[in-house]
Structure 1
Amino acid sequence: MTGFGHKLHVMLETRFPEKRLFLRSDAETRFIRLGPVTQLTAWSVTTVVLAWTIVATAIVIMDSIGAGNFRAQALRDQMTYEERLNELSSERDRRAAEARAAQDRFSSALEQISAMQTELLRSEERRRELETGIEVIQASLRRTMSEREAARDRARALTATLEDDTAAMPGTPGGTSSAATVDMLAEALAETAQERDKIAADAEYALEHASEMELELRLLRDKNDAIFSQLEEAFTVSVEPLDEMFRAAGMDPERVLDTVRSGYSGTGGPLTPLQFSTRGGPVDPDAERANAILRAMDRLNMYRLAAEKVPFDVPVKAGFRFTSGYGMRWGRMHNGTDFAAPVGTPIRAPADGVVTFAGWSSGYGRMVKIRHDFGIETRYAHQSRIRVEEGQRVSRGDHIGDIGNSGRSTGPHLHYEIRESGSPVNPMTYIRAGQDVF
């Protein structure tokens, strides 16, 4: 044994002196010698095992504590998320109720507008009749004045003739002829006086009726002005939210209206511009206001048609919750919005369009694609059942499928996409833009 080994052995003996472990049986007694090295090895192994046990126990305890904190935090996050979802659901229901009320107001306004337009046309026709009546009365007055002047001239001529005849035949036996002439002149003067009185009475009657017609005409104009003001205010309130809705969706309202108008190029009907006679005078301001209102009606009607063709509505009407939005998720781009709901929940078309695909599509599972106007396409993935066929034309609100869990899906939900000219966009842009209308 070397010197270092001897010193190490001596040092270990001071710490771990040699011990003997006796093992006794019925026949004999044996012992096991435990040297310093053996004791050091046993002590080291025991220490390592004990240390490992302590460390492992600490790790388990810390993991349990961490897991408990994580679960508590996850529970708090879930509660916060559920509260937010409940708020969103309440807000959605409130918006839907407001949209239904706005739709009812719009329908009522259209009915009132139709009735007011009919009343306006009747008023205009009555006004034209009054103007014609006033012109007839004025013409009668002018004719009566002319006839009265002619009667006066005739009376003066007869008087002059009588005077000449009387001066030419004084005291002659032609008195009979003079008397006849006087009688004729007296009769002519009496007729002239009667005609004059009749003309005066007719003139007074015409003036009285002209005043009544003027008053009636003013009342009609005041009534028309009130109708115009009410209609103009109603259209201002109705059209501005629709302008904002299309702008919020990133669409140019004028381009949208031109596109819709090009598809509905028919003429005639209730929106035909009014043509009021001006009789060679200036443009009738009532006609201008009426035509401006008709143009606003046409704009509102075009907006109504356009709103049916753009996916402003939500595809799920029953109870649901948003689970994933548009954007990056787990390092990958999520091109749509997810609506979680039980299997079989109906999926509704958010706008009019044509089904371009209805079938299985790899990770999308059972999927439907709908082509809408303005280069917009919507997609509905992970369905449990498809209820439309390729080439079928659908309208807003039609039942196109049921929510499911097909394809790459972690639970029952609808994966909803909107694409513009083939590029995905955030569906919530359209849904938020239409939340005050649908």
Structure 2
Amino acid sequence: MTGRITYRLNAALERYLPEQRLFLRSDTETRFIRLSPTTQALTFATGALVIAWTILATAMLMMDSIGAGNAREQTRREQLAYEARLNALSADRDSRTEEAARAQQRFNVALAQVSQMQSALLASEDRREELETGIEVIQKTLQRAIHERDAARADLAATRAKLVAEAKAPNTRAGRIKDVEATLDVLTRTLAATATQRDQIAADAAEAKRQADQIALDKRLMEDRNNQIFDKLEQAVTVSMKPLDKMFRAAGLSTDKVLKEIRRGYSGQGGPLTPITFTTKGEPPTADEIRANEILAGLDKMNLYRLAAQKVPVGLPLKTSFRFTSPFGWRSDPIKGTKRFHEGLDMAGRYGSPIYATADGVVVRAGWSHGYGRLVVIRHAFGFSTRYGHMSQIRVKVGQRVSRGQRIGDMGNSGRSTGTHLHYEVRTAGKAVNPMTYIKAAAHVF
């Protein structure tokens, strides 16, 4: 049955594919291979299938290549836009830094003026107290002179009455007249001296009043100047505090929590600024004292903010040129090609570029870690920690305290990596967060 079907198939194909023979000749004999129509049809079908598969595979490869080219072009455009945003952030950061420096200079100048003003105010207070004491002495002297004058007048009247009574005796008239004349001379000289002293005391009192009026005018002028200085100081404090507030808000931190934490753990020299007071009599503070104490409170708060800024991981861990090669979030794994979540930022740069700590903290890990290669982990305040992976060299040890901006290692290509770069992570309460949030937050201050 099978032979009959084969025969009929060969007969049908004979018209299109006649039987062929392939001769093979050697030195001693000649042989041939018979190629039936069915065999030829199978050969042609197999070749057609191979050609069709080749064309299909080529088309699929071309489509994949075109798609990959579009993806690379899209990635390049996104990278250019990303770099443009980073340049804008860098320019904004520079302008903020210059603004903070100018505000600090204005604050220093205003603080020096306040110091001079306080010294002048204390000197004027001492001078006023001295003038008040002098006026009080002059008034007492004037009152005593008036009492002496009245007493002298009373004595003169009594003496005149006595002389009039004694004048009735004729034998002593000439003597009594001489005594009266002598007494009158003494009284006249005494009254003249008292009048002169009185006039001098009146002149001294008038001069003291003039000086008191001049001191009052100087005091009013000084108060106006103090108001101007206080206004400048308040503006300087506000300008200096605004970037710090923006930075902590951008980092998602509560300013009250930050200040409470810093006050609790602050152990540096200096401490909070002492409120100003000019009296020890238990009197309520003046308006200037209240404003000065408010400014000092603002300076204390700004000082605590600056201490906190050193403990929060904001800013970049690199100071040399680099480029961002992989953002935070879902991405295609560079080695396996599968979809994976990237918990940090990749920054590619020159091999051996210095890597710096982004905040004060304690090194809790420094060594080889699977995937990360040479890894440094730093624990910071407020529940933050940072990771620096793929280093070529580690320059810190576990338990070492590091400061913001301290060099902790060099950029490399260790671990699971396709090229020289730094893998940088920021974690809060052990959970990875986008480091770009804190890099952008630093643009308000640093």
Alignment of 1:58-97 (within 5 A): 58-61=56-59, 63-64=61-62, 66-97=63-94
* Structure 1 stretches lacking a partner, 5+ long: none
Once structures 1 and 2 are overlaid, which stretch shifts more, 208-217 or 427-436?
Answer: 427-436
Deviation, 1:384, is 0.8
Alignment of 1:209-288 (within 5 A): 209-264=211-266, 271-277=273-279, 279=281, 281-288=283-290
- Output the CA distance in 1 between the equivalents of 2:269 and 2:12: 114
CA contact (8 A) 2:110 2:229 kept: no
Amino acid at match of 2:298: A
Amino acid at match of 1:284: T
Q: What is residue 184 of structure 1 aligned with on the other side?
A: 186
Amino acid at match of 1:46: F
The 3-state SS of whatever aligns with 2:410 is strand
The 3-state SS of whatever aligns with 1:435 is helix
- Output the CA distance in 1 between the equivalents of 2:261 and 2:6: 104
Deviation, 1:341, is 1.7
Alignment of 1:25-174 (within 5 A): 38-39=36-37, 42-43=40-41, 45-46=43-44, 49-50=47-48, 52-54=50-52, 56-61=54-59, 63-64=61-62, 66-105=63-102, 107-109=104-106, 111-170=108-167, 172-173=173-174, 174=176
Query: Are positions 1:428 and 2:427 aligned together?
Result: no
Q: What is residue 28 of structure 2 aligned with on the other side?
A: none
Q: 1:356 aligns with which of 339, 352, 364?
A: 364
CA contact (8 A) 1:155 1:192 kept: no
- Output the CA distance in 2 between the equivalents of 1:319 and 1:204: 77
Amino acid at match of 1:425: V
CA contact (8 A) 2:325 2:346 kept: yes
Once structures 1 and 2 are overlaid, which stretch shifts more, 270-279 or 387-396?
Answer: 270-279
The 3-state SS of whatever aligns with 2:205 is helix
Q: What is residue 207 of structure 1 aligned with on the other side?
A: 209
Q: What is residue 404 of structure 1 aligned with on the other side?
A: 412
- Output the CA distance in 1 between the equivalents of 2:17 and 2:393: 83
The 3-state SS of whatever aligns with 2:382 is coil
Amino acid at match of 2:382: F
Once structures 1 and 2 are overlaid, which stretch shifts more, 349-358 or 93-102?
Answer: 93-102
CA separation of 1:131 and 1:255: change in aligned 2, threshold 3 A? farther
Query: How far does the alpha carbon of each residue in 1:65-92 deviate from its partner, in whole angstroms, 9 at most, with x for none?
Result: x245224413422431332233134124
Amino acid at match of 2:194: T
- Output the CA distance in 2 between the equivalents of 1:268 and 1:239: 20
- Output the CA distance in 2 between the equivalents of 1:18 and 1:179: 181
Query: How far does the alpha carbon of each residue in 1:261-309 deviate from its partner, in whole angstroms, 9 at most, with x for none?
Result: 2233578689222121175544211111111111111111111111111
Q: What is residue 16 of structure 1 aligned with on the other side?
A: 15
The 3-state SS of whatever aligns with 2:424 is strand
CA contact (8 A) 1:248 1:429 kept: yes
* Structure 2 stretches lacking a partner, 5+ long: 25-30, 332-337
Question: Number of paired residues?
Answer: 430
CA separation of 1:327 and 1:21: change in aligned 2, threshold 3 A? closer
CA contact (8 A) 1:20 1:32 kept: no
- Output the CA distance in 2 between the equivalents of 1:19 and 1:391: 89
Amino acid at match of 1:85: Y
Query: How far does the alpha carbon of each residue in 1:297-351 deviate from its partner, in whole angstroms, 9 at most, with x for none?
Result: 1111111111111111211121122222333334433222221222211111111
- State TM-score, norm by structure 1: 0.85
- State TM-score, norm by structure 2: 0.84
CA contact (8 A) 2:352 2:410 kept: yes
Amino acid at match of 2:147: A
CA contact (8 A) 1:278 1:284 kept: no
The 3-state SS of whatever aligns with 2:371 is helix
- Output the CA distance in 2 between the equivalents of 1:270 and 1:214: 35
- Output the CA distance in 2 between the equivalents of 1:112 and 1:311: 32
Deviation, 1:413, is 1.4
CA contact (8 A) 2:104 2:236 kept: no
